[in-house]
Amino acid sequence: MKIKQILATTLSAGALLVAGNVVANADSNVTVKSGDTVSALALENNTTIDAIINANQLENDGNVILVGQNLIIPDGTATQTTTTQAPVAAAQPAQQTAAPVYHAQAAAPVQQAAAPAVSGSDSAAQAYIAARESGGNYNATNGQYYGKYQLSLDKLHGDLSAANQERVASQYATSRYGSWAGAQAFWQSNGWW
């Protein structure tokens, strides 16, 4: 009699484990719409940006997703990977780290333009902002903002060329923040510039 009870209990526990695994791996698929971002999809589906990037093998840290692209959205109850940042030096004030915004965009050829001469930390800050805003794509759009630095269309005055985007972005960074480094510090605190 005891052997039958142990066997029944073991089978019941095994069935629960199998059922638990099926529920925990209930990934879903979505088709990217204009204005979708990896961070918004992660938030809507209770998962992480890294989980979406890894599940879809996205390049450029997920900075570029295309309208109409099908994405696997991992179930948020699965084990999630987290990333950590290097400690900030004691002399610097503590900054909040905002999640990067990844904009969906229509597929278009990437234009290359010579960037104005920017040196040292300003060059790194300029690259930092471009990577987070558009993945470096001069044609990126989210419906309201356009280009490599996601500038409003009124600032570009109808000239969407790469050269104009570089010129306008540099003018904006220096007039509003004093430098690209200042613009990066603001972006890191607020998640936009």
Per-domain residue ranges for the chain?
Answer: 27-76+97-107, 108-190
Percent above pLDDT 70 for the chain: 63
CB 52 within 8 A of CB 38: yes
Give me the mean pLDDT over the 117-124 stretch: 74
CB 169 within 8 A of CB 148: yes
In angstroms, the first-to-last Cα distance of the chain is 72
Quote the pLDDT of residue 118: 58
C-alpha closest to that of 165 among 133, 187, 190: 133
Q: If you ran DSSP here, which 8-state letter would residue 152 be given? A: E
Asked whether residue 99 carries a pLDDT value surpassing 60, the answer given is no
Return the minimum-mean-pLDDT range out of 66-75, 155-164, 182-191. Answer: 66-75
Q: Which residue has the higher pLDDT, 60 or 152?
A: 152
Q: Give the DSSP per-residue string, 45-83.
A: TT--HHHHHHHHT-SGGGT-EETT-EEEE--TTS-----
CB 56 within 8 A of CB 127: no
Asked whether residue 74 carries a pLDDT value surpassing 80, the answer given is yes
Quote the pLDDT of residue 117: 53
Quote the pLDDT of residue 64: 80
What class has domain 27-76+97-107? alpha beta
Q: Which of 75-79, 85-89, 138-142, 168-172 has the highest mean pLDDT?
A: 168-172
Quote the pLDDT of residue 69: 86
Give the pLDDT band of residue 5 (cuts 50, 70, 90): low
